[in-house]
Chains A and B, each alone.
Chain A
Amino acid sequence: MSQLSALMRTTAARLSALYLLLFALCAVLLVFYTTGLSVQFLSVQTQEALSEEIDNLGAIYRQGGMALLVRTIDHRARQPGAYLYLIADPAGQILAGNVESIEPGTLQHVGWINQPIRYRRFMESDNEVHLALARVFELPNGMRLLVGRDLGEPEHFRTVVRRSLVAALGIMSVGGFLIWFFVGRRALQRMDRLSIASQSIMGGDLSGRLPVTGSGDEFDRLADNLNRMLARIQELNEGLRQVSDNIAHDLKTPLTRLRNRAEAALAGTGADGPTHRALEEIIGESDQLIKTFNAILMISRLEAGYSSEALGPTDLAEIVRDVGELYEPLAEEAGVDLQVEIPETAVVKGNRELIGQTISNLVDNALKYGTRRGEPSRVMLCLVEDDGEYRVTIADAGPGIPVDMRERVTERFVRLEESRTRPGSGLGLSLAKAVMKLHSGALRLEDNAPGLRALLVFPKSVGEG
């Protein structure tokens, strides 16, 4: 049913419905016009033939008087044909001719009868009523003469046209509906294929291309242009990845040397001298530098899009359980009540490693920044299924993040004033945001009144839910 309603919404379906309607309307008008003309033409012909016959009979009357006229009519009435002949006495009693009965009152009026009249033919078995065009004359002896011509031919023509019109409209509607169905469905299927392909491409698999059928139609041209655009984006992306890989290699090699030398020097100094402390600090600083550096590289890599291979069916519940369990002793030591609530399973399309890292970063933040000195605090880590999505919530009761800063803190290197003095790179939330984007989900920061509530929203994967 939903497929049908989707079909009705397509442009192709709407256009074909509109064309069908217009075409049917034109056809009806055309048929009415031509039949009208034909019928009129036939009537004129009938009338002319009739006039001719009347002139003919007039000539006979003038030539041989009443007797010859009656004889001629009697003779002609016996021959098969479309003409009607009738002679009646002044009272309307039929005396001769090929008409058995006629609409009463017809003979009272002398001259052309404007409306076709009904009559019944003499010597006919089926008692059929026919229509005819006729003219009534008053003969000198008061008798009435009716000469007419059957209208069966034009009437028959009209019936045939009417029937064929109904049949044609029926066939046209069915045909139109079929064309609409197939053309519309075809268009719909191609659009569906295009949008499925583009969704997977938007999900990070830039090597994917939109299907091209090779027919060279407008869909193909559109797909072709979009494909060229994708190729260009992929090229740029590949370049970006290449550059970041090179930077990683070229900067990390000297950093490795730096760290190595400091370590080697450290081994040669006596414990706890000032040189020793300085070297330890150098190692510490370089480690921090490396962490920041890794985080930046990771964010760029995530934003450039991982291969879709990196994402697979992953149990979110298991990850949350693991992270909860990983942090539970630390929380206990810090005097924080870490509460974990999870369902049995929650399968999403994702990368366990990235999600695990993201959730543990957020729990880490909650334990670090979400506590108030001297107060017993609590951190909630829960996973709920709601409205077709899975939500991982990490909520603390700390100072929270002011409303105007909530959007900003997810940008790179943005940190709250209060936390500047503490270790950290200001990249954790940007990383979380990038990871969520890769999973077609979202990172939301809300007020936990008091405290911060970080939500990781994952779409439920189709087919595995």
Chain B
Amino acid sequence: MKILIIEDDRDTALYLERALSEVGHGADIAGDGETGMMLAESGSYDVLVVDRMLPRRDGLALIAGLRARGDATPVLILSALGQVDDRVTGLRAGGDDYLTKPYAFSELLARIEALMRRSNSKEGETVYRVGDLELDRLSHTARRAGREIGLQPREFRLLEYLMRHAGQVVTRTMLLEHVWDYHFDPQTNVIDVHISRLRGKIEKGFGSPLLHTVRGAGYMLRATGD
């Protein structure tokens, strides 16, 4: 997996490159919009991480330019501007995800990985399976080891999102964004309580744990032995 980082702050870019390579992702750096555009056009990247404010070519203009050429490489926008309308203009320009600076690396990594796997996503599948847990998206039912689990509509969406990203780290803000469709920073541990309720439903009375807490990052749904 190869990532292109288009960021004018050299320090941040180098840190990202190093941190990404530590977890096994190769990354290239472009220091301005023009260089970034040139590298991106070569088309050999799985994800682009684009700073919004760039010298020589604005980040949003760069993304709009790529999209106009039919380039569908997933783009994560990094920006110091984090207002509601900033996010809207960013996504409208063709960005796939938007992260406000400063961010935790774990958050950035989780989002990059989610974007990378989007291409081989389970979007089209009607039944998700993780270990002995099964979720039917058409009949809106979930069962584990053949036993049906009663879920509230929101719990169903939460489990659906976790199962779609099974084996990946999912952060609290990602959950709030995709399950509740809100983009603010939750003040307290609201999401954690929802997770522990869901955990109670899908784990209590069954053998092995499925929903794991990833310290300092978020959660991951994974069958033991996967």
Closest-by-CB residue of A relative to B11 is A257
B139 within 8 A of A: no
Chain B nearest CB, measured from A455 CB (Å): 20
Q: Report B112 CB to chain A, min CB distance, Å.
A: 15
Show 12 A/B contacts (Cβ-Cβ < 8 Å), sorted by A. A253-B9, A255-B102, A257-B11, A257-B15, A260-B12, A260-B102, A286-B102, A310-B84, A326-B180, A329-B194, A329-B196, A353-B84
Chain A, 309-344, CB within 8 A of any chain B CB = 309-310, 322, 325-327, 329-330, 332-333
CA distance A168 to B102 in the complex (A): 82
Q: Which A residues are CB-close (under 8 A) to B188?
A: 330, 364, 367-368
Count contacts between A and B, CB distance < 8 Å.
101
A264 at the interface (CB under 8 A from B): yes
Contacts of B183 in A (CB 8 A): 353
Question: Given A260-B15, A360-B184, are A290 and B102 also a contact pair (CB < 8 Å)?
Answer: yes
CB within 8 Å of A: which B159-198 residues:
180, 182-190, 193-194, 196-197
Q: What mask results when residues 76 to 115 of chain B are scored 1 for a CB within 8 Å of chain A, else 0? A: 0000111111001000000000001111110000000000
Contact A351 B182, beta carbon cutoff 8 Å: no
A298 CB–B CB distance under 8 Å: yes
Taking residues whose C-beta sits less than 8 angstroms from the other chain, chain A's interface range is 35 or more
A260-B16, A260-B105, A294-B82 known, 15 other contacts, Cβ within 8 Å: A248-B81, A249-B80, A253-B12, A257-B15, A259-B104, A263-B104, A263-B105, A264-B15, A294-B185, A322-B182, A353-B84, A354-B84, A356-B184, A360-B187, A367-B188
Residues of B within 8 A of A306 (CB): 84-85
CB-defined contacts of A309 to chain B, threshold 8 Å:
85
Report which A residues bind B (CB closer than 8 A): 245, 248-249, 252-253, 255-261, 263-264, 267, 283, 286, 290-291, 294, 297-298, 301, 306-307, 309-310, 322, 325-327, 329-330, 332-333, 351, 353-354, 356-357, 360-361, 364, 367-368
Residue of B nearest to A368 (CB): B188
Pick the contact of B101 from A252, A310, A353 — CB < 8 Å?
A: A252
Given A290-B102, A329-B197, check contact A245 B185 (CB 8 Å): no
Whether A249 contacts B53 by the Cβ 8 Å rule is: yes
Tell me which residues across on chain A come within 8 A of B19, comparing CB atoms: 260, 263-264
Also in contact, A257 and B184, with CB within 8 A (given A248-B80, A290-B102, A354-B84): no
- Are A330 and B102 also in contact (CB < 8 A) when A248-B81, A257-B9, A361-B187 are? no
- Find out whether the CB atom of A252 lies under 8 angstroms from the CB atom of B83: no
CA distance in complex: A444, B192 (Å): 31
Is A257 a contact of B12 with CB atoms below 8 Å?
A: yes
List chain B positions with a Cβ less than 8 A from chain A: 9, 11-12, 15-16, 18-19, 22, 53, 80-85, 88, 100-105, 154, 180, 182-190, 193-194, 196-197
| Residues on the B chain within 8 Å of A261, using CB | 15
CA distance A327 to B190 in the complex (A): 6
Check if A353 sits within 8 Å of B102, measured CB to CB. no
B85/A256 in contact, CB under 8 A: no
Within 8 Å CB of B15, what residues of A?
Answer: 257, 260-261, 264
Residue of A nearest to B52 (CB): A249
Q: Give the distance in Å from the alpha carbon of A129 to the alpha carbon of B109 in the complex.
A: 117
If the complex has contacts A286-B102, A290-B102, A329-B194, are A253 and B80 also in contact, measured as CB distance less than 8 A?
Answer: yes
Docked CA distance A322–B103 (Å): 26
- Return chain A residues, CB-CB under 8 Å to B105: 260, 263
Question: From residue B213, how far is it (CB to closest CB) to chain A in Å?
Answer: 16
List chain A residues, Cβ under 8 A from B101: 252-253, 255-256
- Name the CB-closest residue of A to B82: A294
Evaluate contact between A297 and B83: CB separation under 8 angstroms: yes
Instruction: Evaluate contact between B85 and A310: CB separation under 8 angstroms.
Output: yes
Q: Is the CB of A333 within 8 A of B193?
A: yes
* Cα separation A368 to B190 with both chains bound (whole Å): 12
User: Chain A residues with Cβ under 8 A from B103's Cβ?
Assistant: 256, 259
The residue from B102, B184, B189 contacting A357, defined by CB atoms under 8 A apart: B184
CB-CB < 8 A to B83: which residues of A?
A: 297-298, 301
CB distance from B88 to the nearest CB of A (A): 8
A368→B188 CA distance, assembly (Å): 10
Q: Which residues of B contact A259 (CB under 8 A)?
A: 102-104
Given contacts A252-B102, A291-B185, A364-B188, A307 and B180 within 8 Å (CB-CB): no
Q: How far is the CA of A286 from the CA of B16 in the complex (A)?
A: 19
Residues in A neighbouring B88, C-beta threshold 8 A: 310
Cross-interface CB contact of B180 among A301, A310, A322, cutoff 8 Å: A322
Residues of A near B193 (CB, < 8 A) are 329-330, 332-333
Which 5 pairs between the two chains have the least Cβ-Cβ distance? A256-B102, A252-B80, A329-B193, A357-B184, A249-B80
Bound Cα distance from A290 to B12, whole angstroms: 17
Task: Give the distance to chain A from B102, nearest Cβ to Cβ, in Å.
Answer: 4
Rounded to whole angstroms, the CA-CA distance of A205 and B117 in the bound complex is: 41
User: Which residues of chain B come closer than 8 Å to A297, judged between CB atoms?
Assistant: 82-83
Closest Cβ of chain B to A336, distance in Å, is 12
B100 to chain A, nearest CB (A): 8
User: When chains A and B are docked, how far (Å) is the Cα of A173 from the Cα of B82?
Assistant: 65
Nearest B residue to A271 via CB reads B215
Chain B CB within 10 Å — which of A283, A329, A332, A367 has the most? A329
Cβ contacts under 8 Å, A257 to chain B: 9, 11-12, 15
Q: Are A330 and B190 in contact (CB under 8 A)?
A: yes
Least CB distance from A308 to B in Å reads 11
Contacts of B85 in A (CB 8 A): 306-307, 309-310
The answer on a CB contact under 8 Å between B182 and A356 is: yes
CA separation between A367 and B85, bound complex, in Å? 29
List chain B residues, Cβ under 8 A from A351.
Answer: 84
Q: List, in ascending order, chain A residues with CB within 8 A of B190's CB.
A: 326-327, 329-330, 360
